[in-house]
């Protein structure tokens, strides 16, 4: 199986690059930028890809790779920081740009260049950089420019070294997959036979090898990630697995009963149902800062799992539905911490389990395809993402039972109306948020002073970037009217029209 190695320089989009490569049906792995060149050579990769990153290549302490990689004779593709680093290490010039480029940008490409084969000259792609390549190294040719960037792409065809300043991996560069495919297939000669079916087969063997005869508990939330993990681990080790559903009091309306019923209908594994509402809400009392909420919830989950595992006997592993957006936002390598996910940055330093996270390198859409490969029903596979901390990060500020009840009722109306309009499968995620302020209103000729509710709906392919969903006005009107008329304590509904970036999908 041909392998492409992605050298990570701290990019927020690092695993998105890997995902696009896998969409081309080419197997890839992400490794650290400082991996020894001897180790890279021993892996015999068909190609190397340098990711972007937040640093400037000319600054002290900026992440670099060993320049000897350019002497291995392996095709290399640098993206954003990766192109700048290639230029810098090979004798070109990189400097701060007089005008930074962020967002959609018009690009003029050389159609005779290998990367742009089959594409028009005038393109629109996604830029995100403050530095630029001012002069390319000897042997390189400039193959694309923008109005303010003299080198938007460069190539040394003889040495099979390529670089682009734009981000071909994001959906906002709609032709980016063509550029990557041109590099992988036409330049590097990669075989395109890797599929989610092969991922399942490989993961089953890896789980069996790692677990052996040990017992595993799986934190089951009812969402697609944890459900797919449960099905995958169960296929690998059968009765060695016990699933634990923890009702932490932060679930949506009637969710606990629905999850338990769905699990028993579709899974053959053992299920333990734990009512831990009181202990979670007690720990969260008076807490307003979102990072503290996440850390508290993450630790409390582990403590519940440990207590239940003791009742089961000797349990060595905890299986989790961790996916890569959880990891990247929690901060990995040189990446910034956006927010600590309860199952990553929110984990306690000391715990009695070894983690089993077979989906850690996958994005949500890939996880859905794994679920279909495993035969899970569509209502589980296509369920909208729901965060592990639950409504605790959708009640902005302090979490109380009163606020949770208001939000549960409002959120149920939002989802019900989206389903009624036939839009559920068209939207990546839709939910309500309770704001920690009061606004003045009038109902029945009486002054009210109640909470506002924000409605958030986004479209996305991978959760790394997202656009706000352009919901029909009549749907928004029904949602607003129903929430205000049916949910006691709310007198105003607002709609969030912010994309990611600059916002995240969740408010906390």
Catalytic residue set = 80, 167, 169
Instruction: Give dist(CA 388, CA 346) in Å, integer.
Output: 11
Which token pair is 195?
């599929």
Contact 68, 107 (CB under 8 A): no
What residues form DSSP beta bridges with 4?
Answer: 28, 47
Give the sign of the dihedral formed by CA 255, CA 260, CA 265, CA 270: positive
> What is the β-pairing status of strands 3-8 and 161-164?
unpaired
Residues 6 or more apart whose CB falls under 8 angstroms from that of 262 comprise 222, 379, 380
Residue 393 vs residues 92, 131, 269: alpha-carbon distances, Å: 47, 36, 30
Q: Where are the alpha helices (DSSP H) in 313-373?
A: 324-329, 364-373
| Tally of CB atoms within 10 A around 471 | 20
Q: Half-sphere exposure of 427 toward its Cβ, with a 13 Å CA cutoff? A: 23
Residue 416 vs residues 388, 405, 412, 499: alpha-carbon distances, Å: 21, 17, 6, 23
Which token pair is 398?
């302090």
Residue 133 vs residues 56, 57, 315: alpha-carbon distances, Å: 11, 11, 54
Residue 183 vs residues 19, 190, 284, 435: alpha-carbon distances, Å: 15, 9, 50, 47
Helix, strand, or coil (residue 356):
strand
With b meaning 16 or more CB within 10 Å and e meaning fewer, what string describes 129-165? Answer: bebbbeebbeebebbbbbeebebbbbbbeebbbbbbb
> Whats the size of the chain, residue-wise?
508
* Helix/strand/coil (H/E/C) assignment for every residue in 97-131: EEEEEEEEEEEEECCCCHHHCCCCCEEEEEEEEEE
């Amino acid at each position: 199986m041909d392998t492409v190695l992605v050298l990570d320089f701290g990019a927020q989009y690092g695993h998105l690059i890997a995902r696009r490569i896998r969409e081309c049906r080419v197997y890839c792995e992400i490794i650290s930028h400082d991996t020894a060149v001897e180790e890279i050579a021993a892996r015999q990769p068909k190609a190397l890809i340098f990711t972007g990153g937040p640093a400037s290549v000319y600054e002290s302490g900026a992440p670099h790779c060993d320049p000897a990689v350019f002497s291995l004779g392996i095709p290399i593709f640098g993206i954003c920081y990766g192109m700048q680093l290639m230029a810098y290490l090979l004798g070109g010039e990189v400097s701060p740009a007089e005008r930074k480029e962020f967002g959609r940008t018009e690009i003029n490409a050389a159609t005779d260049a290998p990367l742009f084969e089959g594409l028009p000259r005038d393109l629109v792609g996604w830029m995100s950089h403050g530095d630029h390549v001012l002069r390319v190294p000897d042997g390189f040719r400039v193959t694309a420019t923008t109005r303010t960037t003299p080198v938007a792409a460069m190539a040394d065809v003889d040495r099979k070294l390529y670089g682009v300043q734009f981000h071909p991996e994001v959906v906002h560069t709609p032709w980016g997959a063509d550029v990557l495919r041109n590099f992988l297939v036409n330049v590097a000669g990669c075989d395109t036979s890797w599929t989610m079916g092969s991922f399942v087969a490989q993961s089953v063997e890896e789980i069996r090898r790692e677990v052996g005869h040990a017992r595993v508990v799986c934190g089951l939330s009812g969402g697609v990630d944890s459900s797919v993990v449960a099905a995958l681990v169960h296929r690998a080790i059968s009765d060695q697995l016990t699933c634990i559903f923890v009702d932490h009091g932060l679930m949506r309306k009637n969710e606990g009963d629905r999850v338990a019923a769905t699990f028993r209908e579709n899974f053959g594994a053992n299920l333990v149902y734990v009512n831990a509402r009181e202990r979670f809400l007690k720990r969260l009392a008076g807490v307003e800062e979102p990072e503290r909420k996440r850390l508290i919830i993450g630790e409390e989950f582990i403590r519940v799992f440990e207590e239940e595992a003791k009742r089961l006997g000797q349990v060595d592993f905890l299986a989790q539905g961790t996916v890569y957006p959880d990891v990247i936002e929690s901060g990995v390598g040189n990446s910034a911490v956006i927010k600590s996910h309860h199952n990553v940055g929110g984990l306690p330093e000391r715990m009695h389990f070894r983690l089993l996270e077979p989906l850690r390198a996958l994005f949500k859409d890939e996880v859905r395809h794994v679920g279909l490969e495993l035969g899970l029903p569509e209502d589980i596979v296509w369920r909208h993402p729901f965060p592990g901390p639950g409504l605790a990060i959708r009640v902005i500020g302090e979490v109380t039972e009163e606020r949770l009840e208001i939000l549960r009722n409002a959120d149920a109306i939002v989802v019900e109306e989206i389903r009624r309009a036939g839009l559920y499968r068209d939207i990546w995620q839709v939910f309500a948020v309770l704001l920690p302020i009061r606004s003045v209103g009038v109902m029945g000729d009486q002054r009210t002073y109640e909470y506002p509710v924000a409605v958030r709906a986004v479209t996305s392919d991978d959760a790394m970037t997202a656009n706000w969903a352009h919901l029909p006005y009549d749907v928004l009107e029904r949602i607003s009217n129903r929430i205000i008329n049916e949910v006691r304590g709310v007198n105003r509904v607002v709609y969030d029209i912010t994309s990611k970036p600059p916002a995240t999908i969740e408010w906390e």
